[in-house]
Structure 1
Amino acid sequence: MDIFALYPTSPGYDFITEDTYFQKTQRRFPWATHTKSLPKSPLYLATCPECKNAIEIRELDRVRGENERAPMEPFGKHYQHNVPGLDIIYDQAKYDNCSLRAKVSLSSSEPRLSQAFNDEVLKLLVNEAAVVREVLATTVGIGFGDRLFESMLKTFIEQGRYRCKGVMPSNLPFALLYWTESQWITGQYISSEKHVEMECAIENSLHFCMSGRQISSKHWRDKQSAAARDKTPLPSRPDWGPHRLAFFMGKRVVRGDERKGEKNHMTLTLTEHTNNKPTGNPIYKKKISYSNNHFPNAIRAFERRMSKPEEAAETLAKRIRAGKLAYSYAKHLLPDTWRPNWEDEEGARLDAS
């Protein structure tokens, strides 16, 4: 697993990194201890945020590159024993129902039974919606404007997909992408010049084209040309026409072997739907690869931007804007006493202005 808590009563969780674990525990007992077997070896313990049983944090304090072996990222594994120092009495039934117990595919629709942990996933989505949005944009290559992002959030939350066993804090952006397929992308912007193949596929489609970096339609382009020729006004909003350009993810999600440094991946497909037909013609496919530390690293990078005076205001505005979109659909599902982490930041900004 990729997350840990200190005690069974600790609220929330932290992503597992060597720095975070040792900063939180300060290498103190009962977290830092040793095995009972001889010769004794270091044993690093914590709590599973979902089932509240103990976990062992592995791959800490290793000599990097030992025996020419590539270093592994630290990870948590359930420790099926009582840990009196953490007030943990091992509970087999809770372990059996824990979604963090085994490697579950992101595509698994089996519901997670822990409402408290489901709430934690939903809270993360509200708190870090801006980071989720940025990860999607850089990974997929599409800008994910407000309307598209809101449509995805609405589907993901209202269909209860955040409760699926395969949806974890570490894969949240990719879970949102996977479980909200067949989204209309006309009018969105290609996020950078690196996605030339996608632009070419759109240009070569029957009904769509690029207008600068924006995904447009040939129907709207013809209307613009006619208006310029006849010197007539255009509608205030683009008329994309009767056709639809959408994306969906393939059903198969391949889980890479983390011990070998392999990434997880799934396939993004763009489809052109003539006259808005349910079944579209595939025009482009792309492999979407991600690791379990992709999203946690993006959160840390976002926080660093928040701490820079020259970037703080713009970064905070992005956090609040995306967070409000997510919170509008999640608020009624979360405890009344809970508030997003950006609400205080928004209040401070308003006071300063």
Structure 2
Amino acid sequence: MEISPFVRDLPKVELHLHIEGTLEPDLKFKLAERNGVEIPYKTEQEVKDSYQFTDLASFLDAYYEGMRVLLTPQDFYDLAMAYFERVAAQNVRYVEMFFDPQAHTARGVPFHTVISGLHRAQLEADRRFGIKSGLIMCFLRDFQAEFAMATLLEALPYRDWIIGVGLDSDETGNPPEKFAEVFARARAEGFLLTMHCDVDIKNSVNHIRQVIETIGVDRIDHGTNIVEAPELVAEVKKRGIGLTSCPISNTWVSDSSKVELIKQLVTDGVEISVHSDDPAYFGGYIAENYQRVADEGELDNAFLANLARNAVRSSWATPMLKQEILAEIDATEKRYQQEA
């Protein structure tokens, strides 16, 4: 995919990014060799060829299989730094990255191992690239709520390193309300809240209603099925709840990129923005997702700039950093207008 100069230069904020989903085949092989982990592939191309997903469940199988090579703080540092290096070239200015500690602690990797490696990479990315970032700890919804609560309590000593909590993994049979007590405790501890409401799943609208009315989230991940319930569209606008959409990954786990729904929600005044989800598996980082929206939706630079502003506004960055990035977006848009 060819990235336009405007998309390349546009200052970006990434809010929907699973750091374990940035494990590229070359790093997977490197870590497997370093840690003595056997993987069922001989070449990087074989790994890429195995990424043939038909739904969320088939993606998750590959996603969790890939994590087996992540064992040490250095592994998690290398994983995050590889992502930061890549998106620095796409003018990403701020990132809120998900991490899935239960997927690691369940296989014997300590919580501290995971978060210490990621935190060190965050500090290095700020120093080397000027990319500031925050961590969002996601609970896996296909585990029991008691495990999520235990993970939340284990995370409390690292409270200053984590800005919020989220909910991801297999949504089928695992509604948001299953974790209401966990998220209430997280809110009481001062964490911001978001939850995945995956596209086109059974009971999607009901799940969106739960995250708004029962959980009281600050943001919704995916969530484009909200267009089926105009009263919920009105409610997220009223409450200032942003949505994070991932067009390229949508094409792998549903019947389309949902670009038309993104356009509709922007027109309706919803603070929806565009992100990459699990780019190593779905074949596109944030710039590729912006370009997909631009090409498929036949959208101009002004629309893309507004998507970028939506990401800034619905982020959990400091007010000062938000103002700084918004000014950079304005300046970039103005420069391209003058050059046109």
TM-score, scaled to structure 1: 0.29
TM-score, scaled to structure 2: 0.30
Q: Which has the larger radius of gyration?
A: 1
Determine which structure has greater relative contact order: mean sequence separation of CA pairs < 8 Å that are 6+ residues apart, divided by chain length: 2
Which has a greater percent of helix? 2
